[in-house]
Amino acid sequence: MDVSANSSIYSPSSLCRQVFARSAAHISGDFDAAPAAVTAPWCLTLLTEELQLAQLQQLQAFIAERGWAVTAIDILAARPQCTAVRLQLEAALEFDRARGELLALAEEMGLELVLQAGTTQQVPKLACFDMDSTLIQAEVIDELAKIAGVGDQVAEITLAAMRGELDFQQSFRKRMSLLQGFTEESLAEIAPQLPLMGGAQRLLQALRALGCKTAILSGGFTYFAHYLRDNHLAVDVVHANQLEFEAGALTGGVIDPIVDGARKALLLQELAAEMELSLDQVIAVGDGANDLPMLSLGALGIAFHAKPKVRAEAPQAIDGFGLDAALYLFGLNDRQIAALLEESPSQ
């Protein structure tokens, strides 16, 4: 690419200077209300608590070595414990390879780098979320097992599934059988104690203000998903596993169909069809291997605080920030996000 033929392309020598100058302007409030329109084929978002010059120099060397050209720079956040910088890239790159290289570079640099197609830098019309360890900071079935005194047995079944000895449905049925007799009264006591994931309320509130529908697609339980929807989170649709009760206690059985990875992907597609949306208007967020099928379907598939395998295979990943950091991947800056949260009533 002839860099000199396009004055909007930032040379490696000017990239650091421009980023830090614009960050200073952002902090002082002297910046545009909206980021620049996306015109490049790729966007690379840098997320870090505090951006260091050496990190940016290393990134610009990486970009220059590959012949990628930065055509626009936007500071989406510049505040204590959060800097978000979006670079628009003119680049003939192969996504999976570039994503892998950027994940390795990000780990080396101690920050996060999220690559996405420029066309995906938009607010989705439907956002689908896993629940356990995504919207909440817990795996509910493990918490129930601990209280029921079968925590070690359930953990061993989970490990067997991770080793490939059991699939999700087999492991789910085995774990549920160990919870026979757990009372509905105890479930009602547990639900209010489930800790929300950081940024979950802000993200879902902002999405509702933007007109985006939201869904929980979970291998967990409708009992807890409905509690979250009714008390804490701006969620429109819930699909999860139903608990089977008899005389106020769990039977240890399951009610089909079980929501596993394949069903999550199917539900996402069905919801999009019902809403007359194309998949490029849908995003998915999750942390586990059973989320990978749905993460591969939409415009964005965000692995959140995910297991290494999931982080390596998902299209995008966020690790060191709250769920609301996903808003930067829609092309929004802190000023726009604050305005949305002011306009939208809290859940």
Are the CB atoms for 347 and 205 separated by under 8 Å?
Answer: yes
Terminal-to-terminal C-alpha distance of the chain:
50
Q: Is 291 a catalytic residue?
A: no
Query: 74, 130, 291, 324: which one is catalytic?
Result: 130
Backbone angles phi, psi at 15, to 5 degrees: -60, -50
Which are the contacts of 70, defined by CB distance < 8 A and separation ≥ 6?
A: 9, 10, 15, 63, 87, 88, 89
Measured from the Cβ of residue 286, the count of other Cβ atoms closer than 10 Å reads: 31
Is-catalytic flag, 96? no
CA distance 298 to 345: 28
CA–CA separation, 317 vs 320, rounded Å? Answer: 10
SS3 for 184? helix
Q: Rounded to an integer, what distance in angstroms lies between the CA atom of residue 261 and that of residue 270?
A: 14
What's the CA gap between 238 and 294, in Å, rounded?
Answer: 15
Residue 213 CB contacts under 8 Å (≥ 6 apart), including other chains: 125, 126, 127, 236, 237, 271, 275
- CB-hemisphere CA count at 13 Å for 16? 14
The tokens for 337 are 């996000």
Residue of 32, 74, 132, 324 with catalytic role:
132
Give catalytic residues, as residue numbers: 130, 132
